[in-house]
Amino acid sequence: MGSKAGGARVGLEQVVIAPCRSHDPEWWFSSVRVELSKAMSLCRSCSHMSECLAGALARGEAAGVWGGRYLVEGRIAAVPGPWLPSRGRVRLAVSRSRNDEGRG
């Protein structure tokens, strides 16, 4: 039993130094894309990443970054928020606005 207590203590110390324990916890549950990206990046440097993701999937976590992935309703999902448009999309949007001005 003594070895288990020692093992639990080591595990607890490792969790305490995990990125999610040493940075702003709001990043892991934010609705701001930049903050979620920071959290995901920090997760990828953690030695507990795969166990964290597996546990979150098994528990069906409602939302947040777990093991470097964003979860919604217990499933891996795309990070919310607007994507930055590519140059092609910007040109398309400009071209549409010029056409719309000529019609009106």
Residue 20 pLDDT more than 50?
yes
Length of the chain: 104
pLDDT at 82: 63
Domain ranges of the chain: 2-103
Residue 101 pLDDT more than 60?
no
* pLDDT tens track for 51-96: 999 999 999 999 999 999 999 999 999 887 665 444 444 343 344 4
Q: Are 60 and 73 in contact (CB under 8 A)?
A: yes
* pLDDT tens track for 5-19: 444 444 545 545 789
Type of residue at 63: A
Q: Is this prediction's pTM over 0.85?
A: no
CA 71 to chain centre: 8
Taking residues 29-48, what's their average pLDDT?
92
Total Cβ atoms within 10 A of residue 88: 8
H-assigned helices in the chain: 2-16, 19-22, 33-43, 49-59, 87-103
pLDDT at 70: 94
pLDDT at 71: 95
pLDDT at 10: 46
Q: Tokens 């990206």, residue?
A: 37
